[in-house]
Amino acid sequence: MNKTDLLAIGHTALDYIIQVKEFPEANSSTSINKMKTLFGGAAANVAVVASTLGLKVSLVSAVGSGFIDSDYHNKLKDLRIDTQSMIVIEDENTPTAFVLTDNEKDQISYFYWGAASEFKNSEVPYNAIEKVEAVHLATGDPGFNSRSGEAAHDSGKLISFDPGQDLHMYSEAELKDVLKITDILFGNHHEIKRIQEILNMNIDDLRNFGPEIVVTTYGKDGSRINSGNEIRIDAVLKETVDPTGAGDSYRAGFLNAYLRGEDLEYCGKFASSVSSFIVEAEGCQTNVPDENMVKTRMNDMWP
């Protein structure tokens, strides 16, 4: 399998990280103490990390017209990520997340789908799919993911799937449609448990239904890879500044190693090492390591 070909489908988003002293009551206001604009979106996070690790990556997201030639778009192009099949929606904004944190470290978040609301009306990116060896379906519209997954499956592509926080948007039928053509399923332990509850399946049932490999992440407690037997991978623990994006980077690291033909235990260790860099800085794409950095940390953890 050619390690240089991965297509990520799903959200590209702007993240506004806002700090306030306290949340205002209804019909009142408060001052913002600090605000940063960071680059995010699950599919874009996977694309950025995978590209930095050495894969040749394409990205399909629904974005607003203002995204074209923006700082974010230019960053993707600098990383040689193919954005030719991006879905550009005129008179709409690129999906945007607003994350507000007060002095007590409590958070309130808002997510504006914006252009991504048009995923459901968009054509499957057949040309982008045909060019690659593997397709990663990240957070995004269930119908678009299902249709894109079917096209990838019909073309014999490896398919990985991570519904993430959009899991609640999938009906049981839509979830089954995607899972039955999935090769690798990613999720945190809450998401994998919820999938099992929706489908009334244990891990073995789930694997027999669709994904040959089920990868479950547990934060600081590591991850587990099920492929008939269970492989447990320790987390590479580092001081955590911001855990956001750790899961996306884990998926990018896992796919990087898997597409290079590594065994599943190596894939898990490599992925765990990748995600340990992301949590050390604020933002999903701020502290992205290259392959040599990851291997050094991995070898320190598992000599």
Residue 61 backbone dihedrals phi, psi, to 5 degrees: -140, 160
Q: Which of 114, 55, 56 is nearest to 87 (CA)?
A: 114
Pair of tokens at residue 88: 């550009």
Instruction: Return the beta strands (E) in the chain as ranges.
Output: 6-9, 13-20, 32-40, 57-60, 62-64, 87-89, 96-101, 107-112, 134-137, 158-161, 184-188, 213-217, 223-226, 230-233
Instruction: Return the beta strands (E) in 3-146 as ranges.
Output: 6-9, 13-20, 32-40, 57-60, 62-64, 87-89, 96-101, 107-112, 134-137
Q: Which of 211, 198, 214, 81 is nearest to 153 (CA)?
A: 211
Looking at residue 61, the DSSP 8-state letter turns out to be -
Sign of CA pseudo-dihedral 168, 174, 176, 181: negative
Catalytic-labelled residue, pool 248, 263, 290, 300: 248
Annotation marks residue 248 as catalytic = yes
Active site residues: 248
